[in-house]
Structure 1
């Protein structure tokens, strides 16, 4: 594969400040302000001797002053850490309630469906509007709908609510605050959904229970403190850019490795046993017993390691044209979902990405054409490019088929590269991440008018379902 970007350097400007003290006479001062000289008698203006000021910043005093400043800064940081970090605690609640002005649809049972996604976003936006008001405001973090089920008067909603409050508060005390804020909002009657007050139930849960509930939903990124990781946190690039910032930033990323030969390709976790990758990764070796998959932000050491039990290549994969460049790998042992390991959402056909949509590609591949594998996971923000543009004669001259997706920049410089093959191109939809592409091919790495070409996952949604049931 490919991927390249020219090294960029930062110019550092060193500024030296110097000072010099001069002995000035009244004549000198006057000359600074007047062009015509004026004579003064010494009786009127006697000569004044200007002495150099004694240097205060001798080495000993300078050292003592520096230590004092360092101590003050250290104390200030300690105080801030104590009150902002140690005294700020996460609280999680399981909320359930009935909504009367919604009719149940069968697709609400399918969490990746358009109907469930849109309705969930509406409910989550409403919760944000309620709890981010000044009365209860800035302590609300996020909410996630877990389930929408039928009710004779509408639908039942089950969701997780996340808050940050001082650790001195109890879960029950905060629960009462939350209920009071909600009931006040219901009285105003300016909400898009009609919630039965008597049906509202709020139950404190711990972080493990919260994580277990969210595991029912794909594409959610969490930090080690069990707080959601917003999309805005990932703005750097993969080629010659910074490494991924933290564990859990791209928890579905896997490294496919041949035993004895190391990393070969990337892959994406789509369930607790199935990986989605590129068919061309298995050109030389299709023996599943020779492959392993690892998870985490580093190849060595890995956070999780699993053997591969089955490899399924698309039946109509063509290595010359790169058509149908998609494959599945099944793990011999399931993985446990956590902040570090999580599945990405598969897209339905309704997800349409117009040109210049921001998407992200990740991988352990080289940062220069034909360079070495990187031990630390890297990431890049790129933009989708229309098939019409990508098929221009000066770009890929008609080689892009409906099952392919172009992403990158026409000026080049940011791209995926060798070793990133099979890895994910993901899209953020309201902090839920979908895999829209699989790193497939391209001419060299990061060349102008030669963007990355990806397998368009939505085109193969039925094929994936037929092989995995997902």
Structure 2
């Protein structure tokens, strides 16, 4: 059955009353011993707190540039969405990880992101953001010297895939705002509220009876599509400053863009950002009876500004293929039980892709899965998207860059055995998206 839109309702939580303890009187010896014990505990606690405050880690960001002489410049390096730029960026980022991962101390190097590849007479120039974690008592300049020393030593002793012109290397400390502005040129990068990059792995718990998303910025492309006066109806995914990707069936009752709003953030109420919808484009060949071509676009009347907590996801190349049992993540504000209420806080689940041959078995969906559909979940059930998650993203992490590979479309009930979630396969519609948006 289709994951139909549902209205938001609040959950009532029971209040707990605690029993009062009877007052007790202490003799002088017991009171003295008790006081000494309290003083000792307080002393130890202060010591521990002081230790962690002093040793509290902080994020440090650096903008690095260097010349690579073993690469010849290609025109597509200037297009950040091109396969050439993405593949070369991954190679450079892997190399930086090899240089710093073990050399800079456990957990010190977080990640790197290539910002620009530009032409040079002897090869190419690389502009890259480096992210580290060090005690807050350290200074950016002292850490800078440490990073430079590690970099130069690595070039001497490690076999690296690229040839770097050592004198060309420069390193500049930058603040978190500058770092975010630089990364805004890249899609699919998620950050926490404190600018700390999050690990690719996350909860394996489900949206159905699952856990709430941990923090702002964990899934910054997630949006809520809401009918004015009726509340949350569907999820959607930000793919540019103005365009969102969602499911066609979300609009089957109302296609009037003036009746819709979009909100961003990990809660529906209050929203972090709110925008009006100016245009709705539904796939011309959408068939509600078969769920084929269940894809639509919504354009905002006013663009959103990218930040740590609102960011676009990457669109996959049409040639991207995910083998069965690939880990992917689904997020949404949908119900946690079949026909339950919308959840005010965003929820997340790790699921796995399932081959269409398995999904088309007689005991599963009996031939209903077309080439434009993608199954994901688990054959034993239990973990799944549900009602109200429709239109939301199914995303895949490729070397810390996140791609939308599916749109929550339909399924039989929620989290049943042999009835995994069915998603619109985004790679199948890559040309259609480009023809409507230019993306």
Aligned partners of 1:413 and 1:137: how far apart in 2? Answer: 37
1:269 counterpart (238, 246, 249): 238
Q: Deviations over 1:337-382 (max 9, x none)?
A: 1111111111112321110111111101111111111111111111
Moved more, 240-249 or 105-114: 105-114
CA deviation after TM superposition for structure 1 residue 135, in Å: 6.0
Aligned partners of 2:437 and 2:241: how far apart in 1? Answer: 11
CA deviation after TM superposition for structure 1 residue 187, in Å: 2.2
- Tell me the residue number matched to 1:75: 46
Asked whether the 8 Å contact 2:221–2:238 carries over to 1, the reply is yes
CA deviation after TM superposition for structure 1 residue 242, in Å: 1.1
Aligned partners of 1:390 and 1:100: how far apart in 2? Answer: 49
Q: 1:206 to 1:318 in 2, by over 3 A?
A: same
Aligned to 1:116, the other structure's residue is in SS state helix
Q: Deviations over 1:169-194 (max 9, x none)?
A: 33233222222221222223621110
Asked whether the 8 Å contact 1:355–1:384 carries over to 2, the reply is yes
Q: Does 1:94 align with 2:63?
A: yes
Q: 1:438 to 1:65 in 2, by over 3 A?
A: farther
Asked whether the 8 Å contact 1:112–1:348 carries over to 2, the reply is no
Question: How is 1:11-50 mapped onto 2 (pairs within 5 angstroms)?
Answer: none
Aligned to 2:331, the other structure's residue is in SS state strand
Aligned partners of 2:370 and 2:133: how far apart in 1? Answer: 48
Asked whether the 8 Å contact 1:2–1:369 carries over to 2, the reply is no
- Tell me the residue number matched to 2:217: 248
Aligned to 2:233, the other structure's residue is in SS state strand
Structure 1: state its 5+ residue gaps. Answer: 4-55
1:300 counterpart (254, 269, 281): 269
CA deviation after TM superposition for structure 1 residue 446, in Å: 1.0
Asked whether the 8 Å contact 2:202–2:350 carries over to 1, the reply is no
Asked whether the 8 Å contact 1:112–1:347 carries over to 2, the reply is no
Aligned partners of 1:244 and 1:261: how far apart in 2? Answer: 24
Aligned to 1:217, the other structure's residue is in SS state coil
CA deviation after TM superposition for structure 1 residue 224, in Å: 1.7
CA deviation after TM superposition for structure 1 residue 235, in Å: 3.3
Normalization by structure 1: what TM-score? 0.84
CA deviation after TM superposition for structure 1 residue 393, in Å: 1.0
- Tell me the residue number matched to 1:181: 150
Aligned partners of 2:324 and 2:30: how far apart in 1? Answer: 62
Q: Deviations over 1:284-320 (max 9, x none)?
A: 0000011000011110001111111111111111111
Asked whether the 8 Å contact 2:377–2:384 carries over to 1, the reply is yes
Q: Does 1:426 align with 2:395?
A: yes
Aligned to 2:149, the other structure's residue is in SS state helix
Q: Does 1:220 align with 2:180?
A: no
Aligned partners of 2:425 and 2:43: how far apart in 1? Answer: 56
Question: How is 1:391-470 mapped onto 2 (pairs within 5 angstroms)?
Answer: 391-470=360-439
1:146 counterpart (90, 105, 115): 115
Aligned partners of 1:65 and 1:369: how far apart in 2? Answer: 57
- Tell me the residue number matched to 1:18: none
Aligned partners of 2:275 and 2:228: how far apart in 1? Answer: 12
Q: Does 1:364 align with 2:333?
A: yes
Q: 1:60 to 1:209 in 2, by over 3 A?
A: same
Q: 1:172 to 1:111 in 2, by over 3 A?
A: same
Asked whether the 8 Å contact 1:244–1:379 carries over to 2, the reply is yes
Q: 1:207 to 1:396 in 2, by over 3 A?
A: same
Aligned partners of 2:33 and 2:281: how far apart in 1? Answer: 70
Q: Does 1:279 align with 2:248?
A: yes
Aligned partners of 2:215 and 2:78: how far apart in 1? Answer: 33
Q: Deviations over 1:121-165 (max 9, x none)?
A: 211111112123346665222111111222232221110011223
Aligned to 1:324, the other structure's residue is in SS state coil
Aligned to 1:448, the other structure's residue is in SS state coil
CA deviation after TM superposition for structure 1 residue 62, in Å: 8.8
Question: How is 1:342-361 mapped onto 2 (pairs within 5 angstroms)?
Answer: 342-361=311-330
Aligned partners of 2:259 and 2:39: how far apart in 1? Answer: 61
Aligned to 1:197, the other structure's residue is in SS state strand
Moved more, 280-289 or 107-116: 107-116
Q: CA RMSD in A?
A: 2.1
Aligned partners of 2:109 and 2:364: how far apart in 1? Answer: 48
Q: Does 1:336 align with 2:305?
A: yes
